[in-house]
Amino acid sequence: MNQEKRKKSVFVEWTQAIVVTLIIAIILRSFVFLFARVEGISMLDTLREGDRLVVSKISYTFSEPDYGDIVIINISSDAEYVKRIIGKGGDSIKIENNVVYKNGTALNEPYLQKNLTYDDFAEVVVPEGYYFVLGDNRPRSKDSRYPSVGFIAEKNIDGKVIFRIWPLSDFNSPYNTGD
């Protein structure tokens, strides 16, 4: 009888541990961080197809998205993109001769591949509460230049990319520019 009671006790303890672990995992996944996989080449050379990323979902609970942040954006129920924030509400953005201008000043973008050529983009003003995002591989990126993406509302930013965790040989922060 005592042996049977011990078996039940061990079973109950294991069941409780599993349930608590699942609840913690669900809470962390829902509110703290998520994992994302890069699909496509729009962020070359910063990120590559198949890279696995850790994304902080709480980064913007205490602060707002900032220039240069690499973010996961939710375009629709079945489309999420990884892009870089270039402009915030009130900023004017234009692209001329392969140079991005924010409020009339050329951006220094050391993360871009050398000698990229991409189309000019007429000056726009980012509405308040929205962001202008671009991929680092400008010729091959579907981003705020396209009406299907457009300006991104803060509520559509799922989080800030913190680390690349795969492949292990490239484990690092994607904000390193090699300088």
- Summarised one tens digit per residue, pLDDT across range 85-99 is 999 999 999 999 999
- The residue from 7, 9, 30, 42 that is catalytic is 42
**Is the pTM here over 0.75, yes or no?**
yes
- Tell me what pLDDT residue 179 has: 46
Question: Is 11 within the bounds of a domain?
Answer: no
For residue 50, give every residue at least 6 positions away whose Cβ sits within 8 Å of its Cβ, in sequence order, or none.
Answer: 37, 38, 166, 167
Domain count, the chain: 1
The residue among 64 and 3 whose pLDDT is bigger is 64
Alpha carbon distance 103, 91 (integer Å): 6
Q: Is residue 79 part of a domain?
A: yes
Residue 56 among the catalytic residues? no
Q: pLDDT tens-digit profile of 78-131?
A: 778 999 999 999 999 999 999 999 999 999 999 898 889 999 999 999 999 999
Is 49 inside a domain boundary? yes
Q: Catalytic residue among 83, 88, 141, 160, which?
A: 83
Residue 1 lies in a domain: no
Pick from 31-40, 66-75, 87-96, 154-163: least confident: 31-40
Is residue 24, in this structure, part of any structural domain at all? no
How far is the C-alpha of 55 from the C-alpha of 138, rounded, in Å? 22
Paired sense of beta strands 52-56 and 157-166, if any: antiparallel
Distances (CA, A) of 111 to 3, 44, 47, 178: 64, 9, 10, 9
Q: Higher confidence at residue 147 or residue 7?
A: 147
Tell me what pLDDT residue 11 has: 78
What local confidence, expressed as pLDDT, does residue 14 receive? 82
pLDDT, averaged across the chain: 87
Average pLDDT in the 12-30 region? 75
Say if 133 falls within a structural domain: yes
42 tagged catalytic: yes
Tell whether 102 is covered by a domain: yes
Residue 62 is part of a domain; what is its CATH number?
2.10.109.10
- Structural domain includes residue 28: no
**Helices of type H across 36-166:** 59-62
Residue 30 makes CB contacts below 8 A (sequence gap 6+) with: 57
Return the minimum-mean-pLDDT range out of 15-24, 45-54, 63-72. Answer: 15-24
Domain around 119: 33-167
